[in-house]
A and B are shown apart, each in its own frame.
Chain A
Amino acid sequence: MTRVVVTGLGVACPLGTDPETVAQAQRDGRSGAGPLADAFDTTHFEVQTACRVPDWDPSHLGRFAPALADSGDRKAEFGVHAAVQALRHAFGDDASAQAAIAALPGRAALHTASGLVSSLPAEGEADVLACLGPDRAFDFAASMESLKAANHLRARHFTDRVNQLLAWGYGFSGPSLVNHGACAAGAVAIGTAARWIRRGRCDLAVAGGFESMIHPFGVLSFQMLGALSERTDCDHTAVSRPFDSTRDGFVIGEGAGMLVLESEEHARARGATVLGVVHGLGSSLDSYRTTAPPPDGRGAVVAMRAALAEAKLQPADIDWVSAHGTGTPLNDSAETAAVRAVFGDRGVAPPLISSKSAIGHAVAAAGAVEAVLALLALRDGIIPPTLNLNSPDPECDLDHVPHEARRAPDARYVLSNSFGFGGVNGSLVLGRADT
């Protein structure tokens, strides 16, 4: 079977905007959390913490920057940034990447992931307030004109914008789609793109996810669903507490992770450096509840077992598991139960760590960002830590590698979990370059 190798990595996440900065922060066990008030006025709002991409300056996006300048679309900026970075990582520079993609007509693919696009306040003002009369009657005739006032912001609603820009910038002409599988989307996008390569639908793909929900209506939506931590009794860096008995919800994150995937044959033929391997994807549906997993994590069990089967590996081959690990009370206990069902109890099961303790939850991009982090950790011979695990929950009784990264120079395989609202599950098996 065709081996699918990773030849380029790109990232924007709360730990940094390039793989080496992020890898160092991961080794150091740093947190990317800070005040949500840095993003917008949070007066009267319970949620006060977010994990934002630091020092973000979209002007470095070069030829892509003007096309994104007016829409306020951070997620698309992150997506383009990470994809361009991954392509330069894989090919050295833009011209080489363009030449390689031009040599693959119909066989260079894009499979990205993004999520819910809620409106900005300026859209609410133009689309609704401007059309409400004194009697609160909505003036439809006026709306056809007034809606134009926010038209420049409308581009951020098109989640296929990143694919379109990459196609313009590099000439991609193979399969192209945007995965909307909620918090599992990034992982499923990477795994599905790898399958495209294995099936011969393409030779190369840029796959990953991009997301930013850190704006008023984005954060409000999750808060109203009861998903976010409202903790204010500690430093921002101590709010995200996966697997801890005091966890009370996730911390909203943002960012993008992109991988350049190639058939091993294509990568070897051009002398590319192999950074890792995508061995398998498993996905499943809970068919249970909208925002809660079944307590036994049965859907997650199906996904993890399916990923292992596609990778042709046994549970004992997995060196550590990158958890979905959001820090919500329901997710972490259900995920621990599912990992125990697949791998066994503590002492048998591999370490189960949560990168969301450091970077928050990047929603549709989470699985992709965490895939980048996992591949960097495999390269660096470490198991990343779970931060803020001071009072372990008895229901989350596996080895969660608290506080500090652990040396693991022999680690070869990681299983990375991503589970989402709507009961969508995705598990990826990623391997070191020599697997």
Chain B
Amino acid sequence: MTGILGAGLATPLGLGRAATLAAWDGDAIAIAPHPASDALPSVAQVPGFRPRKQLPDRKAVKLMSREAQLLVYAAVEACGTDVAERLGVPPEQIGAFAAAGYEVTPLDEVVDMFDASRDPDAPARLSLPRLFAEGRHAYNPLSPLKTLPNMALFHAALSLGLRGPHLAIGSSPAAGLAALSGAVDAIGDGTCSHALVGGTDAQTELFRIHYLHEAGVDAAPGEGAAALLLAADAPVRVAAVGLAQEPPAGPEVRGDYGEGASAALRGALYRRLLDEAGLDRVDLVHGDFWGMPTGAHPGGANVRDAAERSALATLPGVVDTRIVATRPRLGHLGAAHGLVDVVLAAGAIEAGRASSALVTAGGSAGDLGAVVLVGASS
């Protein structure tokens, strides 16, 4: 059974797995005022992160988005830069499966270009001839590379020298669990012997903050990354992993999935995975709770938290299960969410505080993921 051989974290609770786990086990809350402006909502940023000093190739840092920098940090912690040599396997046998948030170009990299591209006759408008004649020269030609959605995976794979199969996905909170599912399948099929699995996001940039604000997400925009090194046998095992899609009731961007239908679909997925894992209950659940107040978004009542509660209530033996939510303390970590929860849950199993855990995550487009972890002795 595929399991977790190594793990790395960069979260608002701490830089590194040990720091995050220690803070998580305490009462720390990582949410603070936005450093750029009091007009922006509070955010949850990774403390003490200095990419040029802490990443293996400082020259490459300027080519990386914040998401890529965070993922490389977590990947190096999970695997070490000499992973193929240490494991004694060819680099073609180590895959890379990663979820990354939508990597927007930072404001300070586009301001000069836009300002130089104003239409002289209508300064509030952009002029394409001005953009092509002048504006583009104020734009760093390497900036577009940062926003390619597979660049976080590229930089992590390059840092570790991985040449195996890949899956680059995003940017939903469930995407990290989809990456985990892909890696588990790849190892199970023999496509690779080991896999880096990663999830990373930086929701603290202006345009992302705006989206969360408009979406009515009641959690602070956050940033972070998690990475796992998976192998065929390891102390904490992935007993079952599954994905699903909630059909929305309407075509709106942030869909209404209906509490009853959503709860039924979620519950069916979670119970099936417990079944596959051969468990009659789990000790710990890291649930898909967003803290979105009912009725918060304009398309209709958002009932995802209520649906998640209802779904978890159908699990066998749930009265003795500890159910936790990470967003109130870590902020909204976007595409990093699912895997950050996996590393936290695996930490609880390793520490002997749980023998099994269910981690669930969902995205605003209705995609869901769930994974059951068990200790080696289970």
**Footprint of B on A, CB under 8 Å?**
40-45, 63-64, 66-67, 105-106, 109-110, 115-118, 121, 124-125, 127-130, 132, 136, 138, 140-141, 143-144, 147-148, 151, 154-155, 157-161, 163-165, 167-169, 171-182, 185, 188, 192, 195-196, 199, 201, 216, 220-222, 224-225, 282-288, 290-291, 299, 302, 306, 310, 420-424
Contact = CB atoms under 8 A, between A and B. Distances in A.
A129 B130 CA distance: 14
B148 A182 contact: yes
B268 to A, nearest CB: 7
26 contacts: A43-B133, A44-B133, A67-B252, A128-B114, A129-B118, A129-B125, A132-B111, A144-B40, A160-B365, A163-B367, A164-B255, A167-B245, A167-B248, A174-B243, A174-B244, A175-B181, A175-B243, A177-B243, A179-B169, A224-B136, A225-B144, A285-B166, A310-B191, A422-B168, A423-B158, A424-B154
Given A116-B147, A140-B39, A220-B136, A195 B189 contact: yes
B206 A125 contact: no
A140 B129 contact: no
Contacts of A299: 163
Contact of A181 (B117, B167, B206, B366): B167
Contacts of B242: 175, 201
B107 interface: yes
Question: Which 10 residue pairs of A and B lie closest in terms of their CB atoms, listed nearest first?
Answer: A422-B154, A176-B245, A67-B251, A221-B144, A141-B39, A180-B149, A175-B243, A140-B37, A160-B365, A44-B132
B163 A199 contact: no
B324 interface: no
Main secondary structure of the interface of B (DSSP, over half): mixed
Nearest to B107: A138
Interface of B: 36-37, 39-40, 63, 91-92, 96, 100, 102, 107, 110-111, 114-115, 117-118, 123-126, 128-129, 131-133, 136, 139, 141, 144-145, 147-151, 153-154, 157-158, 161-172, 175, 178, 181-182, 185, 188-189, 191, 206-207, 210-211, 213-214, 242-253, 255, 265, 268-269, 272, 363-367
B245 A287 contact: no
B166 to A, nearest CB: 5
A188 B167 contact: yes
A157 B110 contact: no
A141 B243 CA distance: 40
A285 B164 contact: yes
A157 B170 CA distance: 12
Contact of A129 (B126, B178, B243): B126
A371 B169 CA distance: 21
Given A165-B251, A167-B366, A224-B141, A287 B167 contact: no
A306 B189 contact: no
A177 B178 contact: yes
Most A Cβ at <10 Å: residue of B149, B207, B211: B149
Contacts of A127: 207
A138 B107 CA distance: 9
Contact of B163 (A168, A195, A221, A287): A287
Given A147-B207, A188-B167, A173 B247 contact: yes
B206 A143 contact: yes
Contacts of A182: 148-150, 168
B248 A168 contact: yes
Contact of B126 (A125, A161, A199, A310): A125
B214 A148 contact: yes
Contact of A422 (B128, B153, B252): B153
